[in-house]
Structure 1
Amino acid sequence: MISLQQLHFHYRKAQPVLKDVNLSLQPGRIYGLLGKNGAGKSSLLYQFCGLLFPISGQCRVMGYEPAKRQPAFLQQVYLLPESFHLPDMNIAQYLRLFAPFYPSFDHEAFKRHIVAFEIPDGQSLQALSHGEQKKVLISFALATRAKVLLMDEPTNGLDIPSKRQFRKVIAGCLEPDQCMIISTHQVKDLDSLIDEVLILEDHGILLQESVARITEKLSFRQVMSLEESEAPIYSEGSLKGYVVVAVNRQAEHSRLDMEMFFNAVMVEKEKIVSLFQQ
């Protein structure tokens, strides 16, 4: 569905943001895109939707070149940006103006999401709080039924109940022919949603692994002392001892802690990357 081959991108004469990136993403999956500030996460999302263009290499999405911005392509891609400005109109007016751009827009699904997020009806969008505005855009994004859904920090600005509702809504709406990519620093908000983890580092994809393979190779657990865990790759102190990431030698089942995994990769990059190359 999405294919990058030797993609290279930089801003004017600056250092490369993305360098020789090769990537293949499939439908029916939710990808978590992780990386430090400035790693190029937003730039990568903008390549997928045609807002930024490769300097060299190739980017193809659903068989299209995003840079050409053909109407048939734009109808099937939706980007929820981190920063946005909504016009001074109510939700019904917003739908009348923007929903026609998406032939598969599902008005009933939009209504369900708005109700689930407890968005007040009839108010001007500008009268809503930032978090409420974001929930309107999330609802709109999902209702487009676009084949490629791109979300840049979607949980920023959401309160705790809204984050829980976000996870519930996302988990129940992805279709087999859709691909969703969520870029975030709020990794704990996405632990239960993600099918595959992408980590950007040094201008490229450092790691691309499914959650199933990560938990097959590594175990995530809480221990009272480090002696309880055989040579952990990475550990962090907690109120109840330590949280550790260790090689899963006993084929035990543990739940992915995506924040711990990302921190472990950043600190013990060579050890973890080599583990997944075996």
Structure 2
Amino acid sequence: MSAVPALRAEGLSKRFSTTLAVDDLTLTVPPGEVFGFLGPNGAGKSTTIRMVLGLLRPSAGAAWVFGEPVAEVERAHSRLAYVPADVALWPAFTGQECLDLMAGLGPGTDLTYRAELVRRFELDTGKRARAYSSGNRQKVALVAAFATRAPLLVLDEPTSGLDPLMEREFRRCIAEAAERGQAVFLSSHQLAEVEAVCHRVGILRAGRLVEVAGMSELRRLRRTEVVVDLARPAPELDRLADLPGVVDLRRRSDLQISLSLTGPPGAVLRALGEVDVERLDVREPSLEEIFLDYYGEVPA
């Protein structure tokens, strides 16, 4: 694996008049990693992506694609492929003509792989682009990007308009890209999608990264919910409230208790081993719940 990061940003900032849209953003995405970039509308995700693509000049800081400054747009873009949230195609061209034209705009295209992707995404390339739904326009852009096998894929809300079967195909393509050593920078509001494909996640709030962590690390920062069903009453479990990390212990009935747990579960499991447990449910928080913790609301 290359020692040079696929994507690196140092102190990246952008100010529009009195509004600081992105504030001192620093992150690194190595080859082979799928990095999820999350945040509610207005958090600065699109502004960050435009700076990373060299389409918007930062007020401070810099970004590099495989060591090439993004300000050197042609050189940086020779190593990446980009799929925007709203894909615009040439309306009079067929899907095939659009794919052929897009193949000449960036890194070289693997035509055999492209044909396979057309089949997998069930794309009718004989239609004129003006007849395409938003989902089909998105398919064209995804097929074109994946077929380049570019070392870095920058994807901004890439599955908008796709049906669930095509979303599943998209996830397969992401996994295959990572296995080949490609890096993926994925901006998305679809939390289930991010949970399914990403290795690490960066959460952006009001232009600042408030967290960068692996999925398991991110979940451990939040409470684990535990529900215990008992075969017979065990009043001694009231003592669980005194154990480290246990919060919000509730006795739902004589035969059921629930609690929230932060940190390692060892002490709780040892205490439960001393009583007659019939069923134990342990649930990790979803990314949606993590967003609730950060913002008090989920991304729109």
Counterpart-to-counterpart distance in 2, 1:138 and 1:245: 41
Aligned match for 2:9, one of 4, 9, 16:
4
Deviates most, 18-27 or 99-108: 99-108
Which protein is bigger by CA-based radius of gyration? 2
Deviates most, 100-109 or 52-61: 100-109
Corresponding position: 1:138 with 2:154: no
Aligned to 2:197, the other structure's residue is in SS state coil
Aligned CA distance change for structure 1 residues 220 and 156 (closer, same or farther; 3 Å): farther
Counterpart-to-counterpart distance in 2, 1:255 and 1:117: 33
1:210 deviation in Å? 0.9
Q: 2:247 is matched with which residue?
A: 231
Aligned match for 1:148, one of 140, 148, 152:
152
Aligned match for 2:262, one of 247, 253, 257:
247
Aligned length: 255
Corresponding position: 1:212 with 2:216: yes
CA contact (8 A) 2:14 2:23 kept: yes
Q: 1:121 is matched with which residue?
A: 125
Counterpart-to-counterpart distance in 2, 1:86 and 1:26: 31
Counterpart-to-counterpart distance in 2, 1:168 and 1:175: 11
1:95 deviation in Å? 2.8
Aligned CA distance change for structure 1 residues 222 and 177 (closer, same or farther; 3 Å): same
Q: 2:82 is matched with which residue?
A: 79
CA contact (8 A) 1:80 1:150 kept: yes
Q: Render the CA deviation track for 1:207-237: whole Å, top value 9, x for unaligned.
A: 0001232345556557599x999426xxxxx
1:186 deviation in Å? 1.4
Q: 1:53 is matched with which residue?
A: 57
Q: 1:17 is matched with which residue?
A: 21
RMSD: 2.9
Aligned to 1:17, the other structure's residue is in SS state strand
CA contact (8 A) 2:81 2:107 kept: no
1:14 deviation in Å? 3.4
CA contact (8 A) 1:219 1:254 kept: no
Counterpart-to-counterpart distance in 2, 1:37 and 1:244: 33
Counterpart-to-counterpart distance in 2, 1:96 and 1:160: 27
- The TM-score, its normalising length taken from structure 2, stands at 0.75
CA contact (8 A) 1:91 1:121 kept: yes
Q: 1:178 is matched with which residue?
A: 182
Corresponding position: 1:102 with 2:118: no
Counterpart-to-counterpart distance in 2, 1:45 and 1:220: 33
